[in-house]
Amino acid sequence: MPDEELDPIIIQVSVPLPISMIHGALLDPAQLSRSFCDAAEIEPRLGGRYELTYRGEPEFTSRGEITRLTPDVDVGYTWRAPAPHDRTMNEPEPKTHVYFRLQDSPEGIDVTLEHAGWESGEAWEEARSFHFRLWDDRLHRFKEQLLRDAYG
C-alpha cells in the first residue's frame, strides 16, 4: 500500500481591492518583485514561463510553467524547490505545484495559496515546513504591498 500524501499547504488572506487588480499583480513581475519574491520573470499565458527568485537562506530561483490561468479567478504553476529539498521535490521532475485562487468574500477578495503534491516521509515533512513558512510570510507581504500601492 503506498504511503499517504501530506496535506497541501493552504494559506489565505483577504484583500479589500478589486479582483482584477489582485489577479494582475500575480502576473506582474514588477509587483511580485516588491513583495512576493525578490525578482520575477513571467510569460502570462497558459504554458508560459513563471520564474521567481528568492534571496536569503537559501537563495534560489524556482522555474516553473503556468498550468492554470483564468482571468480574475486563478493562477497555477509547477514548482521547483531549493536545496536542500531539490532532490526530494524536483527529481526526476517537479512534483509539486502552486495554485492561487481568488474569490469574493465579505472582507474583499480571498486570495488562497495552495501548494500541493506533497509525498510522505521525513524529507517531505521538512520541505513542507520550509515552504509553509515561506508562503505564509510572502503571501502576507504581497497583501501589504497591494494595500500600500492602492492606499499609500
Cβ–Cβ < 8 Å for 67, 53:
no
- Per-residue confidence (pLDDT) for residue 47, from 0 to 100: 98
Confidence of residue 9 (pLDDT cuts 50, 70, 90): very high
Maximal C-alpha separation, the chain = 55
Tens digit of each residue's pLDDT (9 = 90 or more) over 60-92: 999 999 999 999 999 999 999 999 999 999 988
How many angstroms separate the CA atoms of 52 and 19, rounded?
22
Phi-psi region of 124 (alpha: psi -120 to 50; beta: other; left: phi over 0): alpha
User: Contact, 67 vs 76, CB < 8 A?
Assistant: yes
- In tens, the pLDDT along 111-151 reads 999 999 999 999 999 999 999 999 999 999 999 999 999 99
Task: Delimit the domains of the chain by residue range.
Answer: 9-151
Beta bridge partners of 36: none
Dump pLDDT digits (tens) for 94-104. 999 999 999 99
Question: Across the chain, what does the average pLDDT equal?
Answer: 95
The pLDDT, as a whole number, for residue 16 is 98
Predicted local confidence at residue 3, as pLDDT: 61
- Which residue, among 145, 148, 149, 152, has the nearest Cα to 37 in the 3D structure? 145
CATH number for the region 9-151 comes to 3.30.530.20
Instruction: Yes or no: say if 79 and 64 are a contact pair by the CB < 8 Å rule.
Output: yes
**pTM of the predicted structure, to 2 decimals:** 0.94
Strand partners, 111: 13, 102
